Structure 1
Amino acid sequence: MTSAPNHEQKVIAAAQWLADQNEPPAMVVRTIRERFSLSAKEACDACALAQKYRINRRAFG
């Protein structure tokens, strides 16, 4: 039996989702908060992590 994802897992999931978007949504923080049930800080953390994912993908393929 698996438990509900903790906050860190939700932030990572949101970051992965955002990094996969060709065009980020216009109101990205609001979208991430609603879609992944995150706080404003967690949504901002997810945005920062998504940017790191994009940079790593460009650098390392």
Structure 2
Amino acid sequence: MSTIPVGGTTGHDHESTAQIDEAARWLASLPQEDRPRPIVPAMRQRFGLSPQQACIAIREAGLMHARAM
């Protein structure tokens, strides 16, 4: 049986969360046709993200876009 930490950390420190937020805002601000392809390597290079962090930023950008509609 696995245990779930209570009141623990999300695994992201403040700096990486700020990088993810910045990357998500950048991506959400770009029109679809102006987004670099492939997006994950581009975001990793531009913001210094891990592959997982880049995917989180992409998800967050999608949520920002959906909220704006």
Name the TM-score class by shorter chain.
Answer: 0.7 to 0.9
- TM value normalised by structure 1: 0.84
Q: Report how far residue 30 of structure 1 moved.
A: 0.5
Question: In the alignment, which residue of structure 1 is the partner of 2:63?
Answer: 52
Structure 1 residues 24-39: aligned runs within 5 Å: 24-39=35-50
SS state at 1:6 partner: helix
Q: Greater helix share, 1 or 2?
A: 1
Count of residue pairs the alignment pairs up: 54
| Unmatched runs of 5 consecutive residues or more in structure 2 | 1-13
Percent identical: 31
Q: Report how far residue 26 of structure 1 moved.
A: 1.4
Runs of 4+ in 1 over 3 A off after TM superposition: none
User: In the aligned structure 1, how far is the partner of 2:52 from the partner of 2:42?
Assistant: 13
- TM value normalised by structure 2: 0.74
C-alpha RMSD over aligned residues: 1.1
User: In the aligned structure 2, how far is the partner of 1:53 from the partner of 1:25?
Assistant: 18
